[in-house]
Structure 1
Amino acid sequence: MTFGTDRDRPGHHLKPVSSNGGQVTLYAPDASVMDDDDSIDLREYWRIITKRRSVILSVLATVLVATLVATLLMLPEYRATVTLQINPEAARILSYADFEPSASGSAGIQQFLTTQHGVLASRSLAEAVVIKHGLTDHPELTGELRQRSILAELRALTGLLTGALQSSGESRASDPAQPDEAAAQERRTRAATSRFRERIEVQPERNSQLVHVSFVSFDREFSAQMANAVAREYIESTMQRRFDAGSDAREFLQEQLHEMRIALERSDWELADFARRVRVSDLSANQEMARDGLRSLNDSLEMVRQELVRLAGWRELVQQGRIDHLDPVANSVTIAELQKRLLDAATEYASLSERFLDDYPTVAETLRRMELLRAEIAAERRRIADGILGRFETLRAQETALEQALAQREERIMALNEQAVQYNILRREHETNREMYDGLLQRMKEVGVAAGVQESNVAVIDAAQVPGGAFRPVLTKNLAIASLLGVMIGIGLALLLEFLDRTVRHAEDVERLVELPVMGLVPLVRAQGQDEEPHEVRIPERVLSHFSARRPDSAVSEAFRSLRTSLMFSTPEGMPRTLLVTSTSQGEGKSTSSVNLATVLAQNGSRVLLIDADLRRPSLHRDFGRPRSPGLTNSIAQFEQGTSLDRSSIHSTDVEGLSVMPAGHSTPKPTELLSSSRLSRVIAECREMFDYVIIDAPPILGLADAVVLSRMVGGVIVVVAAGRTGKENFRVAVRRLQQVQAPLLGVVLNRVDLNSPDYAYCSSEYYGYQEEPALPESPKLPVSKAS
């Protein structure tokens, strides 16, 4: 296994920012390349598509089969088209409220044409054609002859069953009665009209006055007849509407003129009455005076609050009894003079006490004078403190008074503003009524009483002909659309499944989330004779912990040896001699990684000490078959008594060169114990005794232990379980370490399934040179006696 050191290596965006005691260089993301994360990585999308290809192919096959069956079930449909020319309307009755849409200008013409297109597809036009041609009972409009499809057949079957149940229930619950023929006919007409509208298609021709009106039917002759019928009905309704508009105009204008005259008179009276009541002439001056007063009050209140903020700190010091920390006390000339006199008296007392006892008159007088000076100093301090408290209360009262005055002034301004707004509303209403009344009066004089029948503005350019062939369904087109749709749905579903997977799975996730290098990939171990998925395999914890010792030629052991090599080059000074191994949460393999890393370091000829610092859930004493105590907590307690490191807390193991320090006795406050300076002394002595000290720390989230320990070591490694550790939890955990400037070296990605598509690119490259031996289901490890 190799780990690159160039731009292909995860974490190449990092740059050195500081050092920690000369042991390790801290790294942070390089801002110059942070924008690269915003680019679209096509290889990442291709990886997701390859990984979820079974989902995409399943969706595609389902859509294609459904489309094929639906197309074969469909009846052929025919479409006949009539072409109309619609000339813009120019006649209008009111300049600001027309009965017909205005057709002046390009925007007006387009608006008029769009309106006419809506009229062609309207319900009223379709209903007129259905009633005029007696199409209420036509098979296509009653639903007897309809397009066949899987969904349509299912809906029809459901409708028949529901109708049968309803009819049987009504026959039992109601008395026989004569059916209402008029209501039934109306329902049939509405249903036929609705189906008729669904078959009408209106397609305007771009940049012209032509519009193509089509009718779709299973009968080719019927489609041509209905297309022409819709065109004729539209022309007749247009002419009738133009005729009715002129005859209704005068009546409408008379009604509007009468109503507007009443509204104008009412607005005149309301405006005059309001102006007289509020004295509009003085309104602006009153508003300006109120605003000036408001600004003055705001300035005064701001000055008082600034003084209160300054006194609040002194008041808090007085309440805490820390009068000596007050600036007035520190800068008091009187207190300084008294303290000088006290110092002189103390000097005199020191000189006299060498020759005389305290009851000697001169000495006694000096002591009495010192007591008086101390009392004067205390009294002066108390006087200053009382002055501060009194000043604070006075300013508080001033603040309250100013706030009340400010509130009253704001209410006055709001009242004046409301009067101004109301006056403007009344004035605008009066002006609007006057303009509308004048406009109606002028238009009333212009409207003529004669509105003869005008020529139609609609012409038939091409009448509908009987179509020669069906226009749908087209099998090849449907399958092509289904293929595209199936692929899009499949890819969308694949991306959705990938998005819902919020766990860290590969090295790119680590680089993208925290910008740290991945220093090792530890493959997933499979149990012998089991067919479960990799994440379901359960291996005894002690077997995994001693994997590098029991299987030195396995891929797992090689992964930890590669991790050892990466650590050797992790800093300019080489591998830090004290190393902390932690994880985001419990069960991600940090203890297993600690044991195996310590084992490969010992196999390299180094003296290694493995410390179990997980005081809440210790496990190393069980992994090595040693007693839990004496251990780390015992060593810390020994230092508290001033003795040296208790070597009885260090136990030898079956691995040559590897020793272990268990957790020791349980403690009710692990965080306080681990944050003490005594632990730093324990680690320092262990560093003198061994080449490397590996500390198995508690998880980061939920506990402060790992964060505290991270500042006592030369390097920190975070173990992440692939496919199990949440991305957000991982990001938060690393951020906690970065906030205390922990010497982060990198990440170890544990339980990596090299057979997964996530690692298809590297499974053969990293581990393909040797076959991983299967792990027996119930291995037994020798248990050595504690040293």
Structure 2
Amino acid sequence: MYQPREHFPSGHRFGIEFGGAVLSFERVADVLRRQWPIIAVCTGASLALVIVYLIMAQPMYTANARIMMDTRQAQVLDKDSNANSALIDTGYVDSQVEVINSDDLILSVVRRLKLTDDPEFNGSNPGLLSIVLGKFMSLFGTGEPASQERLEHAVVEQVQKNLRTERVLTTYVLSLNYRSRSPDKAAKIVNAVASAYLVGALEAKYQSTKRATEWLQQRSIELSEQATASDRAVQTFKAENNIVGTSRGLMSEQQLSDLNTQLVQARASTAEAKARLDRITAISDQDVAQSTVTDALNNSVITRLRAQYLDLQAQYADWSRRYGKQHLAAVNLANKMEELRKNIADELHRIGDAYRSDYEIAKSREASLEKNVKELVAQAGDTGQAAVKLRDLESAADTYRNLYNNFLEKLQSATQNQSFPLSEARLISTAAKPDRKSSPRTVLALVGGLVGGLCLGFGAAFARELLSDVLRTPGEVEDELGVKCLGVLPDIRPPTKTGALLSTSGKTGPPDLSRYVVDHPFSRFAETLRNIKVSIDVARLTREIKVIGIVSSLPKEGKTTVAANFAQLIALTGHRTVLIDGDLHTRSLTRELAPNAKSGLVEALSDPASLGYHVQRSKETGLDFLPSVVASRMVNSADVIGSKAMADLLKVLKEHYEYIVIDLAPVMPVADSKAVSFLIDAMVYVIEWGQTTRSALQESVSGSEVLQKKLLGAVLNRANPKMLKRIEAYKGKHHNSYYVEHA
């Protein structure tokens, strides 16, 4: 059944999604089947233009030479150079491309090869196109003969146009290609350009080295004079200020340094003597018999006396314990111990006097050194400003001397380079005579023409489809309406000037179109109508369908012919069928089938019981036909066709007929079909193939919700048989073998 409004795509969506549906492979295939003649014509025209070009084009030959930027040649005179430091900047290689294409280099080649006398360059043997262009350009010129300079400049531009220089990928190799009509001339010119570049590179390096050598010589002389003057100024200043230098610097500075060293050593000696004296003084205040005294001094005399003291002390302790401290032997031992303690104390005093003497001597020596240092410092202060000035003069002298040595080294290197000029470029591939033409490339041109023609054809085909708002395939109908397309009816009209079904005399078409299924029962037209009947019969299994309306969006889309043939087809199968002319405006079906009728639908509406008096029957098919006979157009035709009387009439007809087929008025011009739609059981929508637009279809169907619900299906009418054959090529060549189009 018919779906809601969103199934009718807007115009914007149509432009993007191609005909209201997503662009798919099947839809592309349909477009190609319909539009293949356009593609074929565009492809053929493109190939024809390519062939004409290949016939008329002048064959050209290209010669190639290659030059390499080799930095290792420049290292011959510089053995200490590092290979990594000799890499060439990529920008330098790209710059050489512009050097090769420069006017000066090409001009040298033109003069060397005398190309101004060559017919290919001086225009002495022009073609037809060149003659025409020359005459045209002469209208804007001065008319004066060209000078030699202008001729050379024109030849240079032509050589630059045919010369292509490029870098080979990311290498240091330059590829030179030259195009010419003659293969010998192409090789000759490209080799001359390569040779001129190499010679020019050597000449440029020689000139730059020469200029650098001259400048270095002049600068070296100036630096030599400045260095000599600076050395002379240093010596004069030393003599004026009595400054004597040694290998370690100035004499006063050397003396001061030595005194400072001696002063530091004297202060250390004084501190050491003072420490010994303080220690002996501290020990003298302690018990001389303690072990710390002996260990601190490390004196052999004190050590021996203490040993004796310790032996007596041990013996004294033993005897005191045995005999008592008052015993004479114990008293003698105590006296000896006291005498030993006195001897140790005397030795300590002697050592202390020696330490005190050493300390006094160290202090005197330190004071003497301090006095000498102060005197030298005072003396150095007087010559400080002279030393500062001397350092400035010596620094300037060293700078000039170093600059002079560096410039002298560079001068020697530049002199060697000038004597042995080496270029960083070398020819690695000499151009040979090309044995085949480089342009035009026949195969490439034909392939390009074929691809270009196909692209143009595809573009034209899809543009035609995208810009077209009409329907041509069942898929487009189903996407647009949301109902099944019941078939595609071929155009059965005979060839006429207007190509329309109805002639200007008012008839609906040739007299036999309304009975085409009778004369051609096995034609595709008849089989498609049978498919519509089968679809209706299948739908009748689930609901009652007796009243069938045949409707279209606009007039002259063939609905009347479809209705007449459909009704006759059903009648031929033996079913009781009545055909009603429901178009009260044009009554085209009545003029075709019953032009002499005196009464019909309007009279039957007034008295349904008298229906039999108004119905006409075909003896050949058994089809009953209810015509419409009115004197003039009815103002209230919509009210009449949708009235209660029409409902009563249809009720009577349902009792006598199995199929009631009504040819309704078009939906867009008048409201009759919408008014009677609630009385119709099912509607078949007739769409003219390649003529009915989507916009018209949307406006027609979306205007009535009842009509949308009653739509059973649609049928494409008046399809071009030849194009239809192309569209349905995917069905195979035997698809139409069952059809018999002849009577």
What are the within-5 Å matches in structure 2 for residues 227-626 of structure 1?
Answer: 227-229=194-196, 459-462=424-427, 465-473=430-438, 478-483=442-447, 485-486=449-450, 488-490=452-454, 492-493=456-457, 496-497=460-461, 499-500=463-464, 502=468, 503-525=470-492, 527=494, 540-552=509-521, 554-570=523-539, 572-573=541-542, 576-626=545-595
Task: After TM superposition, give the deviation of residue 599 of structure 1 in Å.
Answer: 1.2
**Residue 419 of structure 1 aligns with which residue?**
none
Inter-partner Cα distance in structure 1 for 2:543 and 2:701? 23
- How many residues are matched? 499
Equivalent residue in structure 1 for 2:169, among 206, 210, 215: 206
Note if contact 1:582-1:696 (Cα within 8 Å) is conserved in structure 2.
Answer: yes
Query: What is the root-mean-square deviation in Å for CA atoms of aligned residues?
Result: 5.3
**Residue 67 of structure 2 aligns with which residue?**
83
Task: Report the CA distance shift for 1:36/1:750 in structure 2 as closer, same or farther (over 3 A).
Answer: closer
Letter in 1 for 2:554: S
2:617 is the alignment partner of 1:653:
yes
Inter-partner Cα distance in structure 1 for 2:123 and 2:671? 73
Note if contact 1:51-1:757 (Cα within 8 Å) is conserved in structure 2.
Answer: no
Inter-partner Cα distance in structure 1 for 2:46 and 2:543? 54
Note if contact 2:653-2:660 (Cα within 8 Å) is conserved in structure 1.
Answer: yes
TM-score, structure 1 as length reference: 0.51
3-state SS of the aligned residue for 2:432?
A: coil
Task: Report the CA distance shift for 1:159/1:63 in structure 2 as closer, same or farther (over 3 A).
Answer: closer
3-state SS of the aligned residue for 2:586?
A: coil
3-state SS of the aligned residue for 2:575?
A: coil
Letter in 1 for 2:581: D
- Ranges in structure 1 where 5+ consecutive residues have no aligned partner: 1-14, 19-25, 88-105, 147-152, 171-176, 245-449, 775-787
Equivalent residue in structure 1 for 2:688, among 718, 721, 739: 721
Note if contact 1:136-1:192 (Cα within 8 Å) is conserved in structure 2.
Answer: yes
**Residue 772 of structure 1 aligns with which residue?**
741
Q: Structure 1, residues 442-491: CA drift from partner, whole Å, max 9, x if none? A: xxxxxxxx9x999999832326624132452478x513540453255146
Q: Structure 1, residues 155-195: CA drift from partner, whole Å, max 9, x if none? A: 2353366579x59xx9xxxxxx9x656x7556535533332
Task: Report the CA distance shift for 1:729/1:56 in structure 2 as closer, same or farther (over 3 A).
Answer: same
**Residue 158 of structure 2 aligns with which residue?**
195
**Residue 239 of structure 2 aligns with which residue?**
none
**Residue 662 of structure 1 aligns with which residue?**
628
Note if contact 2:2-2:481 (Cα within 8 Å) is conserved in structure 1.
Answer: no
Letter in 2 for 1:467: A
Task: After TM superposition, give the deviation of residue 242 of structure 1 in Å.
Answer: 14
Inter-partner Cα distance in structure 2 for 1:504 and 1:39? 17
Segment drifting more, 59-68 vs 594-603: 59-68
Q: Structure 1, residues 199-229: CA drift from partner, whole Å, max 9, x if none? A: 1212222233433233333302123113443
- Ranges in structure 2 where 5+ consecutive residues have no aligned partner: 10-18, 72-86, 212-406
3-state SS of the aligned residue for 1:666?
A: coil
Task: After TM superposition, give the deviation of residue 622 of structure 1 in Å.
Answer: 0.4
Equivalent residue in structure 2 for 1:224, among 175, 182, 191: 191
Inter-partner Cα distance in structure 1 for 2:624 and 2:518? 11
Task: Report the CA distance shift for 1:132/1:615 in structure 2 as closer, same or farther (over 3 A).
Answer: farther
3-state SS of the aligned residue for 1:751?
A: strand
Task: After TM superposition, give the deviation of residue 541 of structure 1 in Å.
Answer: 3.4
Inter-partner Cα distance in structure 1 for 2:475 and 2:557? 19
Letter in 2 for 1:193: V
Note if contact 1:67-1:479 (Cα within 8 Å) is conserved in structure 2.
Answer: no
What are the within-5 Å matches in structure 2 for residues 54-133 of structure 1?
Answer: 55=41, 58-59=44-45, 62=48, 65-66=51-52, 68-70=54-56, 74-85=58-69, 117=97, 121=101
Letter in 2 for 1:229: A
Task: Report the CA distance shift for 1:689/1:67 in structure 2 as closer, same or farther (over 3 A).
Answer: same
Task: After TM superposition, give the deviation of residue 652 of structure 1 in Å.
Answer: 1.5
Task: After TM superposition, give the deviation of residue 565 of structure 1 in Å.
Answer: 1.5
3-state SS of the aligned residue for 1:542?
A: coil
Note if contact 1:86-1:210 (Cα within 8 Å) is conserved in structure 2.
Answer: no
Note if contact 1:611-1:693 (Cα within 8 Å) is conserved in structure 2.
Answer: yes
Q: Structure 1, residues 10-63: CA drift from partner, whole Å, max 9, x if none? A: xxxxx8879xxxxxxx9999xxxx999443237446635866685377447625
Letter in 2 for 1:195: Q
Task: After TM superposition, give the deviation of residue 592 of structure 1 in Å.
Answer: 0.2
3-state SS of the aligned residue for 2:534?
A: helix
2:25 is the alignment partner of 1:40:
yes
Equivalent residue in structure 2 for 1:142, among 114, 117, 122: 122
Inter-partner Cα distance in structure 2 for 1:53 and 1:161? 40
Among the aligned pairs, what percent are the same residue? 18
Note if contact 2:552-2:687 (Cα within 8 Å) is conserved in structure 1.
Answer: yes
Task: Report the CA distance shift for 1:736/1:465 in structure 2 as closer, same or farther (over 3 A).
Answer: farther
Task: After TM superposition, give the deviation of residue 577 of structure 1 in Å.
Answer: 1.7
Letter in 2 for 1:224: N
Task: After TM superposition, give the deviation of residue 230 of structure 1 in Å.
Answer: 5.3
Note if contact 1:78-1:470 (Cα within 8 Å) is conserved in structure 2.
Answer: no
Inter-partner Cα distance in structure 2 for 1:119 and 1:484? 35
**Residue 365 of structure 1 aligns with which residue?**
none
3-state SS of the aligned residue for 2:594?
A: coil
Q: Structure 1, residues 633-669: CA drift from partner, whole Å, max 9, x if none? A: 5666x4xxxx768738943232424222426441246
Inter-partner Cα distance in structure 1 for 2:423 and 2:615? 104
Note if contact 1:607-1:691 (Cα within 8 Å) is conserved in structure 2.
Answer: yes
Inter-partner Cα distance in structure 2 for 1:558 and 1:50? 28
Task: After TM superposition, give the deviation of residue 560 of structure 1 in Å.
Answer: 2.1
Inter-partner Cα distance in structure 2 for 1:526 and 1:772? 13
Task: After TM superposition, give the deviation of residue 619 of structure 1 in Å.
Answer: 0.2
Note if contact 2:600-2:627 (Cα within 8 Å) is conserved in structure 1.
Answer: yes
Which structure is larger by alpha-carbon Rg, 1 or 2? 2
3-state SS of the aligned residue for 1:615?
A: coil
Note if contact 1:215-1:227 (Cα within 8 Å) is conserved in structure 2.
Answer: no
Inter-partner Cα distance in structure 2 for 1:486 and 1:186? 46
Inter-partner Cα distance in structure 1 for 2:527 and 2:640? 36
Inter-partner Cα distance in structure 2 for 1:185 and 1:739? 91
Inter-partner Cα distance in structure 2 for 1:137 and 1:585? 78
Task: Report the CA distance shift for 1:199/1:649 in structure 2 as closer, same or farther (over 3 A).
Answer: farther
Task: After TM superposition, give the deviation of residue 593 of structure 1 in Å.
Answer: 0.2
Task: Report the CA distance shift for 1:732/1:79 in structure 2 as closer, same or farther (over 3 A).
Answer: farther
**Residue 728 of structure 2 aligns with which residue?**
759
What are the within-5 Å matches in structure 2 for residues 601-750 of structure 1?
Answer: 601-626=570-595, 630-632=599-601, 638=606, 647=611, 650-654=614-618, 655-662=621-628, 664=630, 665-668=632-635, 670=637, 683-684=650-651, 686-688=653-655, 690-701=657-668, 703-726=670-693, 729-730=696-697, 733=700, 741-750=708-717
3-state SS of the aligned residue for 1:82?
A: strand
Q: Structure 1, residues 655-684: CA drift from partner, whole Å, max 9, x if none? A: 424222426441246556656666555555
3-state SS of the aligned residue for 1:569?
A: helix
Task: Report the CA distance shift for 1:57/1:222 in structure 2 as closer, same or farther (over 3 A).
Answer: closer
TM-score, structure 2 as length reference: 0.54
